[in-house]
């Protein structure tokens, strides 16, 4: 005798199956932690947006990632202190260490100093997992607000397995750049963040992040810099070379307690005699000097064995370091971290060649 299937059972089975599929789909979404520091992306007129308010601006975010939120601070990027840099890096390291199932981390920042914070994290976050720094050029509720789109793309990059091992990344305007190379190139344009002669690492396409190249220098999991016993970062100042510049600012930085000085020189790191004399003064006080270029791109190579500069002038080089292709603001960060590890000029020059 043929048994009849009870019709009421079929909808029940379907409900159970659909619920199981939905549960599996939900658990398969990569988990990404949003840690906010403030900046234009959250600077709504009348009050700053909280992390939860930020992610609600991305309507399909729940279909892309399992997003978590955490507020570190909510201020302009220029107001962040070096002590807060230390605490933020330690916090991100702690989050990634304690939660091994976390796919990645997204950090919001104001764009004015975003490249500096990103590079600092690039050198001090000890993980292969993606850490993505994001911001916006326009405020919430302004016409053409880019924050929601940038945040959406940052989450997608942080959630992607293709982003693993690439160091700290910066995502704005659908471009994915390395924290080491990226710089803000325009005061107000949406298309402001780029890597000048190097180009972006990749893009965020409709089907996810697509990478076209990597970076060769050391970073993140391969970095030798640890903040475990660092109570404060050494003071490093930046001085620019220009026509008729005196050496007064270099001498003043030394006298006011600088541990290091970065000189944004002309061309491939040139300075005039007055500044060279001031650099020699810095050497006598045990202050390291890193030579970089103010041009925005190009490499300042390590000095030749000769003790004469490019103009044929005698110049002490005992504490002089070539900044390679790093922008002055990034050379400053690397020198600060280097001085937490060593006072050996040869070791510091090696670091500038490796990072």
Active site residues: 40
**DSSP output for 85-111:** HHHHHHHHHHHHHH-TT--EEEEE--S
- Asked if 72 contacts 35 with a C-beta cutoff of 8 angstroms, the reply is yes
- Asked if 75 contacts 115 with a C-beta cutoff of 8 angstroms, the reply is no
Token pair in block for residue 304: 């030749």
- Asked if 85 contacts 111 with a C-beta cutoff of 8 angstroms, the reply is no
Q: Which residue has the tokens 């780029």?
A: 194
- Beta-sheet pairing, 168-172 with 260-265: unpaired
Task: Give the number of other CB atoms < 10 A from CB of residue 308.
Answer: 12
Distance CA 159, CA 10 (A): 37
3-state secondary structure 278-338: HHHHHHHCCCEEEEEECCCCCCECCCCCCCECCCCCECCCCCEEECECCCHHHHHHHHHHH
Query: Residue 170: which of 185, 150, 186 has the closest Cα?
Result: 150
Query: Residue 329: which of 172, 183, 131 has the closest Cα?
Result: 183
- Beta-sheet pairing, 104-108 with 320-322: unpaired
Distance CA 137, CA 145 (A): 8
Task: Give the number of other CB atoms < 10 A from CB of residue 200.
Answer: 21
Distance CA 221, CA 123 (A): 9
Task: Give the number of other CB atoms < 10 A from CB of residue 299.
Answer: 14
């Amino acid at each position: 005798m043929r048994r009849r299937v009870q019709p009421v059972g079929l909808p029940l089975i379907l409900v159970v199956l659909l619920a199981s599929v939905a549960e599996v789909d939900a658990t398969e979404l990569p988990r990404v932690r949003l840690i906010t520091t403030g900046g234009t992306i959250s600077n709504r007129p009348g009050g700053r947006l909280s992390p939860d308010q930020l992610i609600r601006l991305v309507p399909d975010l729940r279909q892309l990632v399992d997003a978590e939120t955490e507020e570190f601070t909510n201020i302009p990027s220029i107001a962040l202190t070096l002590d807060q840099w230390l605490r933020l890096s330690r916090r991100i390291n702690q989050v990634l260490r304690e939660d091994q199932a976390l796919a990645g981390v997204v950090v919001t920042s104001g764009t004015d100093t975003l490249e500096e914070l990103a590079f600092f994290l690039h050198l001090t976050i000890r993980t292969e997992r993606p850490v993505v720094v994001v911001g916006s050029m326009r405020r919430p509720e302004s016409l053409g607000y880019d924050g929601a789109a940038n945040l959406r793309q940052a989450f997608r990059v942080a959630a992607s397995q293709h982003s693993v091992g690439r160091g700290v990344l910066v995502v704005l305007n659908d471009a994915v750049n390395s924290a080491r190379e990226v710089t803000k190139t325009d005061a107000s344009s949406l298309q402001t963040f780029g890597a000048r002669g190097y180009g972006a690492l990749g893009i965020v396409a409709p089907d996810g992040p697509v990478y076209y190249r990597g970076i060769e220098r050391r970073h993140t999991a391969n970095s030798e810099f640890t903040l475990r016993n660092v109570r404060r970062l050494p003071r490093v100042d930046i001085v620019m070379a220009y026509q008729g510049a005196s050496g007064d600012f270099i001498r003043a930085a030394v006298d006011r307690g600088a541990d290091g000085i970065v000189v944004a020189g002309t061309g491939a790191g040139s300075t005039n005699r007055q500044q060279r004399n001031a650099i020699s003064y810095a050497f006598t006080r045990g202050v390291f000097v890193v030579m970089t270029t103010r041009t925005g791109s190009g490499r300042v190579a390590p000095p030749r064995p000769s003790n004469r500069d490019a103009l044929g002038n005698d110049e002490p080089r005992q504490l002089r370091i070539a900044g390679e292709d790093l922008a002055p603001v990034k050379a400053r960060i690397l020198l600060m971290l280097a001085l937490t590890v060593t006072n050996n000029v040869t070791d510091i020059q090696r670091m500038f060649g490796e990072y």
